[in-house]
Structure 1
């Protein structure tokens, strides 16, 4: 049997409610390119495994442990036979044809390609970003990132809606929620860096692609719905801590331990301020649900501040996952 043109790799962890739509739409998303779909389950406990075992249209890998987004993709990619790897989040819906994204990834000067992402309600989802310098990471947490008139130094992601209306052949990185790369580029880079359990692995991959002299490219004419967050009031404490860990790892890797230590101190101060702000909101809020949310945010940011200061003091990026 001839190998497929594309290997779609999906990492699943407790995503049963999204899987049927994701798998049904991804098969219909390729017209000109042949495709195989590889799904790896990261030790889900929501019934995902039983469901995936019934799908004859996928190649299924069942992990006995949670390998994270990065480890899951790396494990599944070892089984891929396609010329192009297309990493796709499990909480996605393919809204049209993905052939154009594959065509982009096949360009010899392109190392990685991403597409136009939208939330479930149709709102634009920011899927292209700026280089994650230590200064930009620290400033982006001040809460000004989505202000359109804010200078780009305050942004990790491109937030101007007009940007996403046109394809861009040269960007810093694209979202790992839907990311296409040639398998030979993936193998040259050794896949995603396993040090990143989740978060920032796509930023790191984009940087390493550019270090090879290749481009990261954005296709505006390819759209995928990504249900990220699914209406949650906030990302949650674990997400903040994992993001902090990944940022410190990224800066240590690409800018040095001293830069990471200074970033840890800066983020510790920012997180402390955010925790105090949420503590104040919890006190004045008359709504019990909103008060509980503000307290949860307060506790999450206080914990992130403590871990940031600990990383600064010990000059190490290793904080809890």
Structure 2
């Protein structure tokens, strides 16, 4: 096992998700780490182009223009709220995706990384999950990429982004893959969890993440097979006490992730409480994160 190094040794792009539209929190994270480079992640739904998307695109566009070399990473549902694959493949939502692309271009976000249909192997992620109908997921992915690429001024890169683990009809990273011509990056979301294994040690939990079907080892092999750069768009610690059986305050997990992400195109800590806590809840892990990723 590689030993932790002294200070930052990670050449991949560093990012954070700090909450919807939270540009100040991203800047605070960069300052706290002493980094000149810090990318931002957020989520927009194509059905909200007349509301929230207008504000968020401006916030992130202004943030990007305020510093050199900044990158915005967009988590984009492959169906709008209330949508379904049948209507999507019939073209019902095409205009919403076109309008969102135009909105991003107008705000200087035309070169964003787009995590389209993120966590399609997660049955509870949203209407676009592909565990019931992989063929529809693949076809819709291709449709949306084609729509967004066709809009004037766009230079998006598309990240095929799964979670750790199989579900339903999704038994490998190939199951939902839309094809090399529609994907620029392949991504894997990793949290320090092992479902219903409360007594697992940090090392056992990490070994599970490495070796489980659709875990890290299979992901690396998949990326190499398709000659695609890797990303880790969401990763983080997770608290104990629910069925996810997180590892809590685990510097060990931080070290393993710091080693793992070295050869990735980009990676982002999910520093927003979706149920498992934030870095502030884990003082040991937070200190180790700063040691491994600080400037």
TM-score tier, shorter chain, comes to under 0.3
TM-score, L = length of structure 2: 0.27
Instruction: Indicate the structure whose relative CO is greater, using CA pairs within 8 Å and at least 6 residues apart.
Output: 2
TM-score, L = length of structure 1: 0.25
**Larger proportion of helix:** 1
**Larger proportion of strand:** 1
